[in-house]
Structure 1
């Protein structure tokens, strides 16, 4: 770009003149709109469109020490990003919420030790202002490392272990599982099995605890399978359950993706859903409503989870204290159970 081109690029001064406001007002609108009247904001935004002004983000980052971006950090195998629609829902919601604030979402995946090391280096170098940790495992040292480095971090779900000081947005995992288990019992099912996630994840552990509490004396550890949150794991778990206990009449799968795999395996073994075997899921991520048969499931408020996480991380970045947010789930009854 020539020096002449650089001089012709619209500046804050040009925007201020076009909007009839001060340069300070334009700067406040560009940096979040604090202490600006609605009329002034509208005038500035219209002037930005007319002049074609674009902010020099590199210069602003040097001046403010901010990257104007937040990481969406998934500590799972990258294939789950495409096979499990829950991650896509959270990613879309967080992207939209940040875009409204002129900020960028950066997708990071840290499944292997090498990936975790790269992510940790990237984040600690200041390329993002904060981290939305979308999944956590009790044995994973990455969260503790982020906290020790002072990286603003918000978790989706309450991480296991001594992490009470980490801001979180979650649903009540145990109560959600209790609600679904009571529903299956009230429908007349008596020999109920559960397929749940890994025991070192919040959902895997707490959904099993809620199920076990409601089952009480009827709880049978032989009717429990724990594995990763994917369809193949759900199918393998259902196969093992039916081989051990062919007379089970209902299965609570702790994710819709696992439920879909479980139903496929049940059909291969000659079981009809729901005629011979009821199957319920968890999430209501869109997959449940379109499956054949449509899944009975626990609906998580995905849009509210992602928007709450964005609001929380921005507060944490700004140094404002935040309390944990626990959002309600809803039982959605469909044909599978």
Structure 2
């Protein structure tokens, strides 16, 4: 299950999820059904599960007040989340170490000599946005820069551009920015060019994901890589484990990020 269609159009993250899940399911002859979440999605999915039209659910991206994870959990049907749940609950999920990823970005910017560092966050009502910011801020504090300016985006190109406009207007001395997704960075970099800021000479920029958007950026983006295809394949394996065994124990599988250095920082 994916977020509403407006969010997934043009976002390479979701294509990578589908590709990774398919590498596990296709050889087994298991069909992948894509569904968009909506206000009435939960009840329909539970009904489909109970009536055997679906065998299990991989739920991609949830937000703080999302009732869907709890609803699926109460239904006692196979379900796997693509990130840690927004609220603690006994549910299987696969994630990258988001806080460690934020820390990698902080360390790289400080090692480059950046002294006025800011961040454009993802949606803070979603665990990835919250955790990337937390890891970045904690590392910056340990590195001697506790006062990090942040502007919130929502993981889209448009929000990255708008956040960078605000950042440049309100904090013109910024010389390093951690942008919490490559897609937002792709929107933000043209704003810097418009304002006459050279990357990386005037401002160093680090993204997150290592998606195709990182290579589309000008200059190519230094970014924190999360192995999305491998993570998605693990989601599929965890779901099949639950389908095969009703009493399968709850698991959390965490992948480690790595920093991919290119020309933006």
TM-score, normalization by structure 2: 0.93
Pairwise CA distance, 1:306: 1.3
Superposition map of 1:146-295 within 5 A: 146-163=72-89, 165-216=90-141, 218-220=145-147, 223-295=149-221
- The Cα RMSD (Å) is 1.6
Structure of higher CA gyration radius: 1
Note if contact 2:105-2:259 (Cα within 8 Å) is conserved in structure 1. yes
Could you list the per-position Cα deviations for residues 10-68 of structure 1 after superposition, in whole angstroms to 9, with x for gaps in the alignment? xxxxxxxxxxxxxxxxxxxxxxxxxxxxxxxxxxxxxxxxxxxxxxxxxxxxxxxxxxx
Pairwise CA distance, 1:279: 1.2
2:256 alignment partner in structure 1: 328
Could you list the per-position Cα deviations for residues 129-159 of structure 1 after superposition, in whole angstroms to 9, with x for gaps in the alignment? 1111111112100111111111211111111
Superposition map of 1:71-220 within 5 A: 73-74=1-2, 76-110=3-37, 112-163=38-89, 165-216=90-141, 218-220=145-147
SS of residue paired to 2:134: helix
Pairwise CA distance, 1:79: 2.6
SS of residue paired to 2:187: helix
Pairwise CA distance, 1:277: 1.2
Could you list the per-position Cα deviations for residues 179-206 of structure 1 after superposition, in whole angstroms to 9, with x for gaps in the alignment? 1111110110111111111112111111
Residues matched between the structures, number: 261
Distance in 1, Cα, partners of 2:84 & 2:179: 20
Q: Is the alpha carbon distance of 1:261 and 1:124 closer, same or farther for their aligned partners in structure 2, counting shifts above 3 Å?
A: farther
Q: Is the alpha carbon distance of 1:227 and 1:116 closer, same or farther for their aligned partners in structure 2, counting shifts above 3 Å?
A: farther
Distance in 2, Cα, partners of 1:231 & 1:117: 32
Distance in 2, Cα, partners of 1:125 & 1:265: 51
2:242 alignment partner in structure 1: 316
Note if contact 1:154-1:313 (Cα within 8 Å) is conserved in structure 2. yes
Stretches of structure 2 lacking an aligned partner (at least 5 in a row): none
Distance in 1, Cα, partners of 2:117 & 2:237: 40
Q: Is the helix fraction higher in 1 or 2? A: 1
SS of residue paired to 1:205: helix
Could you list the per-position Cα deviations for residues 65-122 of structure 1 after superposition, in whole angstroms to 9, with x for gaps in the alignment? xxxxxxxx11x23133221101101111212310111100000111x42445544544
Note if contact 2:91-2:250 (Cα within 8 Å) is conserved in structure 1. no
Note if contact 2:99-2:132 (Cα within 8 Å) is conserved in structure 1. yes
Distance in 2, Cα, partners of 1:274 & 1:313: 43
